[in-house]
Amino acid sequence: MSQFVLSGNLSFLALGEVLQLIGSNGGTGVLNITSKYSQEPGMIHFSKGNIIHGSAGSVKGLDAVHALFGWVEGDFAFSQEEVKVPQTIRNSRMEIILDGLRMLDDGHTKILGPVDFAEKKEGGVKSSVPIIKGPLVDYMYVAAEEDFFKGRKIVTENKHGSWIWVVLEGIVDVIKETSEGPVPIVRMGAGSFIGGVSCFLFKDNVRKATIQASTDVQLGVLDSQRLADEFGSQSREFRDLVVSLDKRRDQITEKTVDVCLKRFSLKEFTKGKQPAKKMGINPEKLLRIAKGEVCLVRKTEDGGYIPLAVLGERDVIGPCPFVDIGHEPQKAFVFASPDTETEELNPESLDAEYSGLSSALRNLIETTATSITVTTRVACDYHKNNLQKK
Amino acid sequence: MANINLKLREIEVKIVYYGPGRCGKTTNLEQIFKSFRKQVTGQMVSADTEGDRTLYFDFLPMGLGKIKGYDVRVQLYTVPGQVKYASTRKMVLREVDGLVFVADSLEVRREKNMLSLKDLHQNLKEYGLSILRVPLILQYNKRDLGEQGLPIMPISLMERDLNRQLKVPSFPASAIKGEGVGPTLKACLKLTLQSLKKQLGW
């Protein structure tokens, strides 16, 4: 086995920079790139700093190296070793980097990640509702498989149910039923979960949205007992944080409907609340609410504001230490009621707890976090569309 | 800050040419490539980004001397301005050491110049840099078009438009004829190396 001489995370050092670093040091060896969204690692072979071969799944050569620029989330590791592969690439390093980035920016390269914004034509109408995808499924936790035909309802809003599924194949639609007809929220593809941690916590389990099979789908029923046991053994702080994420997702889904149907009033929403900073609450820290109520407002790209969520006792605000949900402190404003009191949580220990979880539970939480980000984006889009219609 | 390559005992300095589309960034680089051909080690790399080409090459300029025994290698880039080329721009502007802003002298491009400069300011800010602190040179390109009877802006007007707050060195140029290209680059290198020495505490 060879030794890794350079390794790290692509979200910190992008592929273009890694290639330059290895290149300017004249490295000879293999750069391995792993993404949880791909079964096989990608590889780029170097000889004296020059890129000579690449592979990404079944794609080989220069096309493979270009495709790897789309792996924006993942890890890289470079090992120094003798390279025996035949040279298939003769382009200069900088040419490969600039071309790779250009193709990514032009949209020619597919981005491997949790969200797929592939636009799908449906009866001539373009629907740009994004598809959430999850990491590869851990079959250890799949207790049974179920098939649903296209159009079947899997979960009905307001009905009771506590099963958690993972999508194995196909796409499902997440829909909110309203007085003015169904409002599509997001679509979920392979690897994403139906249901959240709250499914194994409370007795009255009311479904917050309808899930319908958009194509023929295959779902895996999760071994909830096992997950519930694991979740129960985590610290109180950790459970509060994750449950709060679940709550946040439900709230945003509600608010998205309000934004879509234009039936919200920001004045009403923030009534009796002050910007958190004014009250000495620093949303750049991870805080658990001990008393009071806070609400979150997001500024949209077109300069408008939309409501996101109302959180109360035991909910957590601030930057989530293990997943980026794209809310406060950068993208959302926090307003708090005058009696709000908070206590600070330790992000490092929560992050460590998260890393120690089984992959199934981790993926479940990740789907929740991704849904928050994506649903927020959908709400912003609805807001934009409404403005344009005016 | 510049990359220091201990193996080759070189300091890699990154200079980026910025400006509105078709203002002559690429022509500048092509002229430099031509006149420094002997010192250019690699080939010129060009990626065809929409509306504008992204160019790159590096060279070891003579006469720059060494800094503490290190040769200075200069990497030159142009950068695509369009919004969608975010990852390209991010890679190019990351750790930029010096900038040349190429402005178009044509009267009809007046607004384009100002918008592009504003863009640069915004982009730099995103990468944690301030336009007021990064070594920057302005170039008023396409002066030759005046001789052909096309309406161009007087230098004083361009100074007022673009350089009122920045107060950086500026040069008239006609990149297509090769005029003003050398002085622009030289001035930028000078500023860049000065700022680099300061940063390194040398």
A347 exposed, middle or buried (CB, 10 Å; 0-12, 13-18, 19+)?
middle
List pLDDT tens digits, range A59-109.
999 999 999 999 988 899 999 999 889 999 988 888 899 889 888 888 888
Residue B18 confidence (pLDDT): 92
Instruction: Kindly report the nearest CA distance between residue A330 and chain B, in angstroms.
Output: 13
Q: Flag if B45 and A26 touch (Cβ within 8 Å).
A: no
The rounded mean pLDDT for chain A is 85
CB A194 within 8 A of CB A165: yes
Instruction: Kindly report the nearest CA distance between residue B100 and chain A, in angstroms.
Output: 20
Q: Which residues of B touch A99 (CB under 8 A)?
A: 47
CB A242 within 8 A of CB A197: yes
Residue A67 confidence (pLDDT): 92
Hey, which residues does A46 pair with through a beta bridge? A29, A51
List pLDDT tens digits, range A118-166.
443 333 333 467 788 888 777 878 888 899 988 888 888 888 888 889 9
In chain B, which stretches have pLDDT less than 50?
A: none
- How far from A344 is each of A273, A287, A341, B132, CA to CA, in Å? 21, 5, 10, 38
B56 exposed, middle or buried (CB, 10 Å; 0-12, 13-18, 19+)?
buried
In chain A, which stretches have pLDDT less than 50?
A: 1, 118-127
Q: Flag if A92 and B5 touch (Cβ within 8 Å).
A: no
Residue A36 confidence (pLDDT): 82
Q: Which residues of A touch B94 (CB under 8 A)?
A: 17
CB B32 within 8 A of CB B181: yes
Nearest to A332 by CA among A363, A310, A300: A300
List pLDDT tens digits, range B145-196.
988 889 999 999 999 999 999 999 999 999 999 999 999 999 999 999 999 8
Residue A128 confidence (pLDDT): 61
Q: Which residues of A touch B47 (CB under 8 A)?
A: 95, 98-99, 101-102
Q: Flag if A98 and B86 touch (Cβ within 8 Å).
A: no
Residue A320 confidence (pLDDT): 87
Residue A122 confidence (pLDDT): 37
